[in-house]
Amino acid sequence: MSEYRRPFLGSPQETIAVLKKYDFTFQKKYGQNFLIDPHVLDKIIAAAQVTKDDFVVEIGPGIGTMTQYLAYAAREVCAVEIDKTLIPILGDTLQGYDNVTILNEDILKLNLSKLVEEKNQGRPIKIVANLPYYITTPIIMNLFENHVPIESVTVMVQKEVAARMQAGPGSKDYGALSLAVQFYAEPYIAANVPPNCFIPRPNVGSAVIRLKTYSQPPVKVKDEKLMFQIIRASFNQRRKTLVNGLKNYEGFHFTKEVIEESLEKCGLSPNVRGEALNLSQFAALSDILKAVS
């Protein structure tokens, strides 16, 4: 039974042995960095709060290192891997786990809501991933914007990206990603992870961040899409005032006067920059601009 089969991957020696056995070559286009520290793997499972009741989707399982830990902790795991050369390796390293399904798919094209319906009767799932850093933001935002039933997303990301997800107004890390993540979820940095915990070693530090999704967003807004367009426009040219950012944004047709009047209704200065506004203020501004558009 899978629940009695303990994970055996996780150390540098075991990882290298698997890579040599299959003569595996790392593909730069997939941004592959495999974890080789059991303590970090334990921290991820703990941060994700995986239990025997959970259906977990793992994005980018690699050679199955974290998949083994997830399979040992969860009821069922679906590992989604884009690199077809890793599929036979996963078939080998995961053969002793009867609660794992391997999908050779691109997570950005996979109908995850359908998978959740089939495998978990539509109940919220947990997502765990060691994501390629170049595609972290598109994957996370795709999950949230498509309103997939998710309880939490626990991911390994670049340290600076984790800081941006958690940042508040006025800080240098605060931006469109901060607001987007915090509209959908409560971010919590569970651990910082140095480069020597991976093979090959990345050039940057990493962090494990848990995004606990809200059942209802913390602010109400009439047009979610418009609000995020306003947010993107506000940070598009960070040093410009919010008025200039919105006036110059392609796709908007608001006049300078309309924007200034809308800011005044929100109790904001016409010289304010986007980085000074919190989520509630962006929602209020969005509702006012929607009414005059």
Q: Can you tell me the mean pLDDT for 150-157?
A: 96
Domains in the chain, start-ordered, CATH in brackets?
2-213 (3.40.50.150), 224-292 (1.10.8.100)
Could you write out the three-class secondary structure of 4-48?
HCCCCCCCHHHHHHHHHHCCCCCCHHHCCCEECCHHHHHHHHHHH
Q: Can you tell me the mean pLDDT for 246-274?
A: 93
Does position 28 have pLDDT exceeding 80, yes or no? no
Does position 5 have pLDDT exceeding 90, yes or no? no
In this prediction the pTM is 0.90
Q: How confident is the model at residue 289 (pLDDT cuts 50, 70, 90)?
A: very high
H/E element, 263: helix 256-265
Pick from 258, 180, 193: which is nearest to 224 by CA?
180
pLDDT tens figures, 84-142:
999 999 999 999 899 999 999 999 999 999 999 999 999 999 999 988 778 888 999 99
pLDDT tens figures, 192-244:
999 999 998 988 999 999 999 999 999 999 999 999 999 999 998 778 899 99
Count Cβ atoms below 10 Å from residue 99 Cβ, excluding itself: 20
Distance CA 8, CA 212 (A): 29
Contact between 100 and 32 (Cβ < 8 Å) = no
- In percent, the amount of the chain with pLDDT more than 90 equals 79
Does position 4 have pLDDT exceeding 60, yes or no? no
Tokens of 162: 């984790």
Pick from 101, 103, 106, 130: which is nearest to 34 by CA?
130
Q: How confident is the model at residue 2 (pLDDT cuts 50, 70, 90)?
A: very low
Tokens of 63: 């050679």
